[in-house]
Structure 1
């Protein structure tokens, strides 16, 4: 199912929206975190008037939701000429599952005055790993976008042996080749958990995820580099840098997640 269709929300009352969480945008039987952020963001923008862009989205994942009907309760905390702030909570079965804050305004049109970004090819090369043929896992999302992984640090996927440094590179392309800001938001959470390369392979639930949206993406591939700074105790962090085909930063995402048991 198309991301825009899967993440749409419906106004039910002032500050209240409904959504049907898609089973297709899931990891295992749980809706994907980046996809849930897109749903919350759509509700927040609609509550603020629908004429703003998302600039920052911060979510706490309290309990895993499930595919099916959900309610989203919003609170416009500030409605400014430059910046608005909207709180939003996703509820299912009378329990809050995800809470978030969306900072809304206008994405810049001009080229950046300064940028320091990782350098790697704009498009995947012929040796890139295709999600649908090379990567077997519980995620279903790769079937709804063109997904390629660099062989760089990907021996886990090629010979099923962990041990590479905790860095992944990947490319994602929307079905119509015209990614929007919501596609960029989801791309910031699309990489496999980085501690897979240490042998911690399994469900690694996100606890907190913050994404900064920096520009409307240009047509073509989005390239993403993911890095981990520290794995300690039951926790790890993950940073994702999302760059569009023009070489502009379109999304920065950072999350704190629980470590899967080591196999």
Structure 2
């Protein structure tokens, strides 16, 4: 079991209840990463399902949970021949913090009938890392994964944002681990907020995030392609496309978030 598997494990207590322990190593300056929290909830949802894979997840982030004990409560809604539907709630101290609707199914290694080509990315040798965060920053998430960025999309670090909401990077876990659906849940929320490239700064809390598992990823690096369409009235959207090492589309996400205050 890898450290990530251990950090996301869900232990069944009874029908519909799972104990979890939220890991402080997945924090972003205090709050825990939303993708990590979804991975925790998905472990419980898949265990309670007759199917193997979380193909669609919608999460409403009601309140930021803290590291430590919590529970995931699963309410089955319907199960058919090819898919099952359930409501998942992350509960801490008796209060719902995240509400999710999760569809599970079993994916096979089918060849796509149609797949839109990915945007071009420079080679990994041409990409760069973010500076290591200061220990007192509480940015523990950075140590759990490797991100190599397309240089223009982190121009905001030196006061040169591109002016467009965008972020692009190669991704893998720091600990050797082939990507799986739970790693993909983390990956779709692993990029810095795309509004940084548009000139905004500060914590940008996710309000709602939906993501789809489109295929089981091949081993190796993932490519994350993030963009936004509208920044308005203190809100922004962020879409992320995830490609595996074979170039295949394996995950898609869209989230609605608040513009941070720098």
Same fold, TM exceeding 0.5? yes
Q: 5 Å matches for 1:137-156?
A: 139-156=139-156
In 1, the alpha carbon distance for the partners of 2:117 and 2:64 equals: 33
SS state at 2:82 partner: coil
| C-alpha spacing 1:186/1:123, structure 2 compared with 1 (3 Å) | farther
Partner residue, 1:259:
259
* TM-score, L = length of structure 1: 0.92
Partner residue, 2:219:
219
SS state at 2:25 partner: coil
Point out the more displaced range, 192-201 or 29-38.
192-201
Partner residue, 1:5:
6
Q: 5 Å matches for 1:1-263?
A: 2-49=3-50, 51-121=51-121, 124-125=124-125, 127-131=126-130, 133=131, 139-157=139-157, 159-174=158-173, 175-261=175-261, 263=262
SS state at 1:165 partner: coil
SS state at 1:5 partner: helix
1:41 positional shift: 0.8
Does the 8 A contact of 2:194 with 2:228 survive in 1?
yes
SS state at 1:27 partner: coil
In 2, the alpha carbon distance for the partners of 1:164 and 1:124 equals: 24
Q: Which runs of 5+ in 1 are unaligned?
A: none
The total of aligned residue pairs comes to: 258
Point out the more displaced range, 56-65 or 169-178.
169-178
1:178 positional shift: 1.3
In 2, the alpha carbon distance for the partners of 1:227 and 1:30 equals: 23
* TM-score, L = length of structure 2: 0.92
Point out the more displaced range, 137-146 or 245-254.
137-146
Point out the more displaced range, 174-183 or 31-40.
174-183
After TM superposition, what 4+ stretches of structure 1 lie above 2 angstroms from structure 2? 117-123, 133-140, 160-164
CA RMSD of aligned residues (A): 1.8
In 2, the alpha carbon distance for the partners of 1:134 and 1:160 equals: 18
Q: Which runs of 5+ in 2 are unaligned?
A: none
SS state at 1:238 partner: strand
